Structure 1
Amino acid sequence: MFPKYYVNLFGGAVFLICFPIINERPPLALAAVNITHLPGFEGALPFHLETGYVKVDELKGVELFYYFSESERNPAEDPVLLWLTGGPGCSAFSGLALEIGPLKFKVEKYEGKLPSMIYNPNSWTKFSSVIFLDSPVGTGFSFSNTPEGCITGDLSWSEHATIFLRKWFIEHPQFISNPLYISGDSYAGKVVPVIAYNVLQGNEAGQHPMLNFQGYIMGNPVTGTTVDFSSRVPFACGMGIISEELYHSIDRNCNEEDKSSSLCVKNMQTFDQFLSEIMIAQILEPICVVALAKSKDINTRKRSMEEIRTNYLTRPLVPNIKCRTYAYYLMYYWANNNVTRDALNVKKGTVVEWQRCNNLQFNVDLNNNIEYQINLTTRGYRALVYSGDHDIVIPFVGTKQWIRSLNFSVLDEWRSWKVGGQVAGYTVSYNYNLTFATVKGAGHTAPEYKPKQCFAMLSRWISHKPL
């Protein structure tokens, strides 16, 4: 369904159902709950955290789970960000505890005790409120009461997220007037502009409540255009990963009309071999296990309920503790601890096993999002597109290429932007309020690799200041 390395890195290794495997139906939607303490975090949380569910499909019983962290500065006026994690199928808890949220894991060898968490001083909640949404259905703690509800795709994900927003703001009227930004990274970048457009259409149709949409944010985003992945070859050549001879051979033999020729297949096998030797999310980091579920056939359609109950858990592979991905490994044990689930107010019986990234029954039913972006930006809404410049999953050179295809005029020429007197990346601004920025040394999920720099980038941009 998706390019080989994209799935291996961000999708689950097994098929996981998104509806309860218990005989009883789960309870009705719970009210939002304020969380003052979390297992593994010493003392009271120094920020406001809320969790809850919003039902987005009454007929199919689809309920999306969210984490909401209020701005630590001025929640009455600061922007509200909806944050979506990619995959598709990766929990928004990754965004909260690995990227832009107020928590992060203390990396210590796991020996059966609940992993410890600490405060993230570079959280974007220093200047904005953030809704971390487990979406689409089947992601994180989100679920459906019916098998039919588990089938999702680009368009249903976008529709569900839009329904979620309006229902969430109805229950949180104090934030309706705050500026709203739709944001996300990786595969979520494909649906971010669609959700934004849906919000605008709802506003224009007079739907309640009227949301104060201001713009959107995408990090190393998938757009659906061929350049998302075709740009890997020139990027790899420019970074010295492959030879110029292989680059030219691929360019010559793998044209858009026919990629099945024997020469193209041979070239791409060689290319894939080079990629298999590096950490493609950040090409300078040591190759590490990604800490996803082990490959294991747990297709529930072929097994009894009793077998599922007793043998369902598929613990992830164990990375070296020196690897960045060891935090992913700790997340698994933290989120699957009953004490944690009770603290988060997760509905019992709805998600037997939490995985950071699940495989979903997902339909790629949107060609690309370029027209949505043009529709939004040419109407005056703001857009920030940023890329970690050492990511080969969605290389920045491809992102630059589709941005150029918009034919927007350059307002502020390519220049460096700095943090602490040092170059943190490069940026260019276009008319129609579009800003593109690279983050120097960052990988696929840029704030995970360069938190201080991304904190500065977003705090400046969202305050309408130059990067």
Structure 2
Amino acid sequence: MVAAMEKNSFLFLSFLVLFPLLHGYTAFAAGTDDGSEQWGYVEVRPKAHLFWWLYKSPDRVEDPSNPWPILLWLQGGPGGSGVGFGNFLEIGPLDGNLQPRNSTWLRKADLLFVDSPVATGFSYVEDESLVVTTDDEAATDLTTLLKELFNGNETLQKSPLYIVAESYGGKFAVTLGLSALKAIEAGELKLQLGGVALGDSWISPEDFVLSWGPLLKDVSRLDGNGLNSSNRLALQIQQQLAEGQYKEATETFFELENVISISSNDVDFYNFMVDYANDPVLSTSGGWNEVMMGRDPRYLGAKKSLSSNGSSSTDDLPSLMNGPIREKLKIIPESVSWGGQGNLVFPAMAGDFMRPRINEVDELLAKGINVTIYNGQLDVICSTKGAEAWLDKLKWGDLKTFLSLDRTPLYCGNDETTTKGFVKSYKNLFFYWILGAGHFVPVEQPCVSLEMVGNITRSPNLHS
């Protein structure tokens, strides 16, 4: 393993600096000797620390008329680690075995990963009462981090920032987008916001849970009895949300997942073509329990971790993050382990988990911000059927025109014999239907995903 790491130039000599104090908080940073990577902590509130990791693309093209973009990746959960999952399992330069990833999104943009909210991944709190309870609180912390990173760095300020999210991260993305815009307009944040992209994002829990039963019935994973049981609970959630009973709706959400799991013989909520134990992404990652341990054990905690045999293989994400990665980073406090506080995040946010964020999407569109929605065809938990349902609820003035347009087929490279997806766009709204992918679109359809990201970020380097 050490040889492989050296082969991939993984262990560069690190440097450690103390950033200037902004807003009264301390920011520590380190990085590789060649400057291609930087990482560090920002104390976004007293005793609340966010960890970030920035990769500079080797494919960067200097074009003053079309600046090279930065992509901020926000993971879901809430409580999933972008530094771990998004980086090593989905879009970063190295995979979970520290081998080069040909489909890394670094080919289209610099990549910024943040373990958010605090207590996620390598991020931590010194007092458990400091864990955020709402999407807005998480967005405020992220805005503080962006101020620390961008305000004193003219190079970063020249690059437009694209906030790209997956799953629950979509709720963080739209609230951060609005929070960042407010700070930019007030002159408190020196940053260009290029756009927001919502990948299989939990924007409207109501529309998603209402879609589950009919979708799974159509693909033969539920029968009529399972459909009736699913619809009954979904309608109960709808009523609870209408009455503002968000915590109660979260409890019913878990009950609904449990009923569907039983009725479908454990369908994978992230890819309806397989059972949960055979998820094409999670079954090779290991440690999903440790990241999501705050979630209800009846479903999301039910998966047996591949690390249960005590193996220290890098196929086991916690062992990778708490072993070679921790050793490389050098600045992780001794008292902090990757995912060690993960059980704090979801319970703290249970009251916001089922709250919709459709209005925030509308606000971004009204302000002229580019909003991209992309969805995997095989996803259940954030199904395309549900995404289309909340899209129809937008109050955006150009929605009717958008919906009336035909879609354009997508292919991979020069191969036009196999349709990989479809796209529709009008003005600043874009929607991608990605075929053959579940919840984890970049992993399951890497080629068309990479081309999509080049379009989203308007990367001047559009070669395949």
Q: TM-score range by the shorter chain?
A: 0.7 to 0.9
CA distance in 2, matches of 1:457, 1:434: 14
Instruction: For residue 236 of structure 1, give the secondary structure of its aligned residue in structure 2.
Output: helix
1:342 and 1:75, CA in 2 relative to 1: closer, same or farther beyond 3 A?
Answer: farther
**1:408-460 Cα distance to aligned partner (Å, 9 max, x none):** 1344413421113221112222x441111121111112102111121111112
Of 396, 399, 404, 2:384 maps to 396
Q: Which runs of 5+ in 1 are unaligned?
A: 1-27, 37-44, 107-116, 300-315
Percent sequence identity over aligned pairs: 22
Q: Does 1:133 align with 2:97?
A: no
Of 34, 55, 73, 2:59 maps to 73
Instruction: For residue 394 of structure 1, give the secondary structure of its aligned residue in structure 2.
Output: coil
CA distance in 2, matches of 1:414, 1:94: 31
**1:273-300 Cα distance to aligned partner (Å, 9 max, x none):** 13452222112245427534769xx99x
- 1:175-194 to structure 2, matched below 5 A, reads 175-194=156-175
- 1:273-288 to structure 2, matched below 5 A, reads 273-288=262-277
* Corresponding pairs, count: 390
Q: Does 1:446 align with 2:441?
A: yes
Of 260, 277, 280, 1:271 maps to 260
Q: Does 1:85 align with 2:71?
A: no
**1:57-78 Cα distance to aligned partner (Å, 9 max, x none):** 1x3x111111111122226521
Instruction: For residue 122 of structure 1, give the secondary structure of its aligned residue in structure 2.
Output: coil
- 1:414-433 to structure 2, matched below 5 A, reads 414-419=407-412, 420-421=415-416, 422-429=418-425, 431-433=426-428
Deviation of 1:217 (Å): 0.6
Deviation of 1:30 (Å): 5.9
CA distance in 2, matches of 1:352, 1:269: 31
Letter in 1 for 2:381: V
2:411/2:421 contact within 8 Å kept: yes
Aligned Cα RMSD in Å? 3.5
Q: Which residue of 2 aligns with 1:35?
A: 32
Letter in 1 for 2:431: F
Question: Runs (4+) of structure 1 moved beyond 6 Å?
Answer: 265-269
Of 326, 332, 349, 1:347 maps to 332
Deviation of 1:252 (Å): 7.0
- Structure having the higher helix fraction is 2
Q: Which runs of 5+ in 2 are unaligned?
A: 1-24, 242-247, 249-253, 295-303
1:355 and 1:72, CA in 2 relative to 1: closer, same or farther beyond 3 A?
Answer: farther
- 1:225-244 to structure 2, matched below 5 A, reads 225-244=205-224
1:464 and 1:75, CA in 2 relative to 1: closer, same or farther beyond 3 A?
Answer: closer
Q: Which residue of 1 aligns with 2:38?
A: 50
**1:168-205 Cα distance to aligned partner (Å, 9 max, x none):** 11343211021111121101111211100111111111
1:188 and 1:371, CA in 2 relative to 1: closer, same or farther beyond 3 A?
Answer: same
Q: Does 1:144 align with 2:151?
A: no
Letter in 2 for 1:416: P
Letter in 1 for 2:178: Y
Letter in 2 for 1:351: V
Deviation of 1:29 (Å): 4.8
1:328 and 1:274, CA in 2 relative to 1: closer, same or farther beyond 3 A?
Answer: farther
CA distance in 2, matches of 1:375, 1:101: 30
Letter in 2 for 1:74: R
Q: TM-score, normalised by structure 2?
A: 0.75
Q: Which residue of 2 aligns with 1:95?
A: 86
Q: Which residue of 2 aligns with 1:6?
A: none
Q: TM-score, normalised by structure 1?
A: 0.74
Q: Which residue of 2 aligns with 1:157?
A: 138
1:71/1:78 contact within 8 Å kept: no
Bigger RCO of structures 1 and 2 (CA < 8 A, at least 6 apart): 1
